[in-house]
Chains A and B, each alone.
Chain A
């Protein structure tokens, strides 16, 4: 990806992420989250992960955030008066966040390797992902399907109004 384009999109991602965290209205935070997820999907495609990039939109932006929006509307959450914690918590969080960012960035900024090795033309295609998914990672795959089933049953059980 062109470095200038990357910088522009990275700026957009960071702005959207900050909006998610800082905006007092939950609906706007959710919309900013959609923007973040969309731009991240663009980055995935730029990193030769086409299947993951499109799945990100289908699963994350298209289902999880819609679920979040549903809950926000169901609970009818408007702008809140106490959106942030007390002042010292905010200061501690900002300070802590900056320190965390500094530590992590200092470790990865000088990561060698440039743009990565040359990979096959099929890198990131569904076929390649499926190849690994059904051989090396078959057990996690089956466990994940059980996990999803448990999550469905659990979500219904938790929100079901009890039998009167």
Chain B
């Protein structure tokens, strides 16, 4: 008789394990080499702690009670636990803090969708430096680490979580209409977004901007689409892109004015990693300047997490090409 594992979980046998270990070792060496020390946090956290990090997040995928009736949850990412660590364990220390991790995170999955409920994340968190310097350090380190891991065709999407909201404000879109627009943008429903923008009865130029902005992605030329009084909205992106050019990684960067991530704690730059061999993103991250304050240590911060198993798929595909 075969005893199953829960949906979305799996066993890893020695051949794969060796490759995953080797991959993580390369990435760890790159992160440690850049001064990011590895930390480990408990897989279980108090649910209240995780919720404090992201109030807009849905319920955690897995919850349980301890012997005293407290609600515990399996972490759904490492960023919130690390924010807790920094606030609790480095309360007097002088920033910056550079930390990295390799740990499993957990999310609820639906049966039959081929998604992982338990997945291995590897990533970095940079606490202290603000935008754009901190953003550029995180992006370029992740790109270099992936180079060392043997990826050749990976690209990073660079957007700004505050761009569309600030645009809505600058165009004086009524407050009550903003949430529905952002919700459609977050769902990648560009048809619904256009419908909703049309209902606002804006002038031709403002309408055009709200509809086309989410489709603008490519090189630095996309930044030119916002001019005049709207230009400051992309100032952060422009500055970050310039720093990345100086670091020599600009050709890997896709500026993406429509990039929005589902996690609610991002306040500035957001990143997504792509590789042509994989249909899903290899990782994501961004700037979360408000998160540490919720744990009592207000500091700007930025980070990025890689989905190690997907990086492994991309790397395997890369080896086949050689």
| A and B are interacting partners | no
Chain A: residues with CB nearer than 8 A to chain B? none
Chain B: residues with CB nearer than 8 A to chain A? none
